[in-house]
Amino acid sequence: MADGGPVEHGFPHLETVRAAVTALYRRLSYDTVQQFSTSVPPADVAFCDTDDLHLGTQRVARELVRHFRLPDARMIVAFREMQHAANVELTAGPEYFVELNDRFRGHRRDIGAALAHEIMHVYLHRVDLSFPGTRDNEILTDTATTYLGAGWLLLDAYREDGASSQKLGYLTPEEFGYVLAKRSSAFGEDPSVWFTSAQAYTAYERGWERARRDERQPPLTAAGWTGRRRYARDRRQAQGHGQGHGPAQGRGSAGDAGAGDVPYAFAADPAGPLRVTFPCPTCHQRIRVPVRGRVRARCGLCRTVLECDT
Ligand SMILES: [Zn+2]
Ligand SMILES: [Zn+2]
């Protein structure tokens, strides 16, 4: 787990974060993801500086192992001087050796956050889900920790005051907020009451706004006027291409400098009607529906019902 350096902000890893949510649903299935509808409650992972270091660490590790439904896994946690915040050795188990940076001896309230990330490495290792490359795999780990209910701890470990700052994990605070907001909307849970860090709360709000934008993209009926107008124009253009001209893309049409990419694309099937594809706002798997006005679709992966005006 990475540690230190200036805190990066914004949404630089959004594409990988979204791919991680899709991968999680694909690997675990909708039913398994549903088992995580309740987050780790703050009381279960609370750790204050007067608690015994080793007993407290083992207790928090046990709670997280239980939350992630790893019944036979045992975490052996040790503290040592190291460059990273934490590390775990991925073996066949059932014992896993976790190392935490010595500085956590004096920052016990963040031990839960560090352990949540490391124990998620074990979880993903066991379900055999990984992304190639360290950066993407760490983003997958942070995203999974958060989507499955323990990532609010990681966001809450983000604090900045004057000269000092602290942040754990590879996602930016806003990206943690984004995944938390996605989770909140999928499970009807409000994590904002758990934050002890004011900066974490602000980052959650930014992430929440970004996540709401995913739910307001055409062809979803919740899309705003500007988006709908552009969609109608892109659709006209796609229809104008007619059959036999291959797929007409709704991306970055000429004369729209600075407008950025749109998430939907039109595909003209030579034998059938025009179709539009767009990412599911919950799991980001691509959905394909015919262009024919009001359409209700259901995402096959996360089962979200999507009201569209195509
Ligand atoms: Zn890691
Ligand atoms: Zn979906």
Does position 242 have pLDDT exceeding 80, yes or no? no
Q: If you average pLDDT over residues 209-226, what whole number do you get?
A: 96
Say how many Å lie between the CA of residue 281 and the centre of ligand 1: 27
- Looking at residue 133, what is its pLDDT? 96
Q: Mind listing the pLDDT tens digit for each residue in 129-153?
A: 999 999 999 999 999 999 999 999 9
| pTM: predicted TM-score of the whole model, two decimal places | 0.91
Distance of alpha carbon 7 from alpha carbon 160, whole angstroms: 9
Nearest ligand by distance to the CA of 21: 2
Q: If you average pLDDT over residues 288-297, what whole number do you get?
A: 94
Nearest ligand by distance to the CA of 98: 1
Q: Please, which residues have CB less than 5 A from ligand 1, an ion?
A: 1, 138
38-42, 89-93, 270-274: which is most confident:
38-42
Residue 170 in tokens: 């590879």
| Bridge partner residues of 25 (DSSP) | none
Do 100 and 120 form a contact (C-beta atoms < 8 A)?
Answer: no
Say how many Å lie between the CA of residue 287 and the centre of ligand 2: 8
Reported as a pLDDT band with limits 50, 70 and 90, residue 258 is very low
Does position 254 have pLDDT exceeding 50, yes or no? no
Say how many Å lie between the CA of residue 121 and the centre of ligand 1: 7
Q: What percent of the chain has pLDDT over 70?
A: 92
10 Å CB burial of residue 136 (0-12, 13-18, 19+) is: middle
Nearest ligand by distance to the CA of 33: 2
Reported as a pLDDT band with limits 50, 70 and 90, residue 114 is very high
Phi, psi of 306 (to 5 degrees): -115, 120
Say how many Å lie between the CA of residue 23 and the centre of ligand 1: 17
Say how many Å lie between the CA of residue 255 and the centre of ligand 2: 32
Say how many Å lie between the CA of residue 35 and the centre of ligand 1: 23
